[in-house]
Amino acid sequence: MSRLRALRAEGIVLAVLALLPWVAPALHVPADVLTRSLIWGLFGLGFDILFGFTGMLSFGQAAFYGTGGFVSAWLLTSGTLSSVPLALLIGMAAATAYGLIVGYVSLRRVGIYFAMITLAFGEMSFFLENSPLAAWTGGENGLPGVPTPSLGLFGHVYAVKAGWPLYAFIATIFFAGYVVARRIVASPYGVVLRAIKSNPRRAPAVGHDAQRYKLSAFVLAAAYAGLAGGLLGVFQGYMPPDAFFLSTSGQLVLSTVIGGRATLIGPLIGAFTWIDLRSVLQQVPHLGAAWKLIFGAVFVVIVTLFRRGIFTISWNPGDVHAVGVELPSD
């Protein structure tokens, strides 16, 4: 019974993801918005382990999102590989390796200095993508023409089309990522991460090698980012240089803060909020370029009203593992 209760969050997330293709059209939420939100949600799962649970604010996650994305997209568009899942895994591995290097350097500092170093790595990565590596990444053009996956199921080859089938593909990956992230934060390892966050001096004092724990959290976040980046290219058939922009890292932080830190599901909710809002505002007739102004204003209101995130305020099932430990006062 207690085992089942421990899996309640997974059950709810699975049920919601599975029901959305039926519920969302009635609410006029397109598959496109949901799929894009799931990619950001997956990106956010790793970031939440790093930021929400371990307390390290990185402004350079775009570096790994872009690396994973461009490695996967290059493999698929250059004709090196035809298997989308394999390309995604290699992209993820590349982002993980890059995360290990960046983490090794940037984790020598904490707090704002750590944030600054990650930001610098993010910008350096964008420069690399844009100029020296332009022959592979397409520079400012990005890489168009990324194919959709074809999956072998029961002897049939099933081509995953855009729309709801692609939603199902990405939702499945998101759910797997969510289950893994839940296991991580609920494990003894996750407890140490939270200990580091709540008291960065005491954790090493009681015998934990805080540096290695932090590095592993950083690498985990990079792996999630790499996988999400790869999915972005597959989802829209195009890998944009925008993935490396500072604004990508910023939006990830924003999504996590709006949705709720240390909740795992918060970044997904935060991302859905702005992606859907953006989509809706652009459909308002005669608004034109002014949509951005309203978009900004709504953001200020949301952040002011939901200081600890939409998810933490509106949904608190009393599950310690899902909600995480009490946050230090903002």
Partner 1 sequence: MARKDRRVPRDAARRDFMRSTAGIAGGLLAAGLAPRAAQAAPQPLGTWPLGVTGDSVFVGVTCPLTGPYSAAGEDHKKGYELVIEHINSGELAKHWHHLRGKGVLGKQIRYQVGDTESVPNPGVQAQTRFITQDKAIMITGSVNSATAIAIEKLAQREKVVNMVGASGSNDTTGKDCQRYGFRSQPSAYMAAKALAPVVVKEIGKNKKVAYLVPDYTYGESVFDSTSQFTKQDGGWQIATKQVVPLGTKDFSSYLLNIANSGADVFVNVAFGADCVLSTKQAKQFGILEKMKLVVPNISPFQAKELGAELMQGVYGTFDFYWGLEGRFPLAKFFVAEFEKRYHYKPEWCAHIAYMQTMLWAATVEKAKSFYPVDVIKTLEKTSFSDTTLGTVHYDAATHQLVRPVPVVVGNKPSAMKHPDDYYRIAGLVPGAETMPPAGFFGCKLGSYT
Q: What is the amino acid identity at position 147? A: P
150 lines the binding site for partner 1 (CB under 8 A): no
Interface with partner 1, residue 60, by CB under 8 A: no
Identify which range of 20-28, 179-187, 195-203, 255-263 contacts partner 1 by CB under 8 A: 20-28
Distance CA 120, CA 143 (A): 24
Among 136, 150, 238, 321, binds partner 1 (CB under 8 A): 238
Measured at the CA of 171, the angle between CA 257 and CA 230, to 5 degrees, comes to 80
CB of residue 129 to partner 1, shortest distance in Å: 12
Token couple for 260: 């709720």
CA distances (Å), 325 to each of 182, 186, 319, in order? 14, 11, 10
Q: Is 162 in the site for partner 1 (CB under 8 A)?
A: yes
Rounded to 10°, the helix 246-259/31-47 angle is: 90
Q: Which of 81, 280, 298, 327 binds partner 1 (CB under 8 A)?
A: 280
User: Of the candidates 13, 36, 264, 323, which one interacts with partner 1 according to CB under 8 A?
Assistant: 36
Interface pick for partner 1 out of 33, 49, 90, 254 (rule CB under 8 A): 33
Burial class (CB in 10 A: 0-12, 13-18, 19+), 145: exposed
Shortest CB 83 distance to partner 1, Å: 17
Contact 42, 48 (CB under 8 A): no
Stretch that binds partner 1, among 102-110, 156-164, 202-210, 215-223 (CB under 8 A): 156-164
Closest to 65 (Cα-Cα) out of 220, 226, 224, 173: 226
Residues that bind partner 1 (CB under 8 A): 14, 17-18, 21-22, 25-28, 30-33, 36, 130-131, 139-142, 144-145, 147-148, 158, 161-165, 167-169, 171-172, 175, 236-238, 240-243, 279-280, 282-285, 288-289, 291-292
